Amino acid sequence: QVQLLESGGGLVQPGGSLRLSCASSGIIFSIYTMGWYRQAPGKQRELVASTTSGGFTKYADSVKGRFTISRDNAKNTVYLQMNSLKPEDTAIYYCNADFGGFSYWGQGTEVTVSS
């Protein structure tokens, strides 16, 4: 059974930082493209950042220079370091694992950026 468990969300002031983690089980983590998506109230889910098995990374324009995605294949975990957070980063953040037509999602972790 595949499980993706996100953690690290919470309430943070504008300009602050958070580090999200997504621990996976039930998949061969190292071969999967891992991604972080987010969905704000009333908006569609959007890609925030992704990292391939080879370490290639991609970011949404809105987070470039502020967010960093990384993966630890030994721990089957992907991270999202979020710095200089803005109120518009408020959303539920979801972890995704994708390989060969198989795509799995976590339950999400809520991030609220507010003073």
Place 58 in a pLDDT band, splitting at 50, 70 and 90: very high
Q: What does the DSSP 8-state code read for residue 59?
A: E
Per-residue b or e along 46-72, where b marks 16 or more CB atoms closer than 10 Å to that residue's CB: eebbbbbeeeeeebeeebeeebbbebe
Q: What is the mean pLDDT of the chain?
A: 97
Structural element, H or E, at residue 58: strand 57-59
pLDDT tens for 80-113 read: 999 999 999 999 999 999 999 899 999 999 999 9
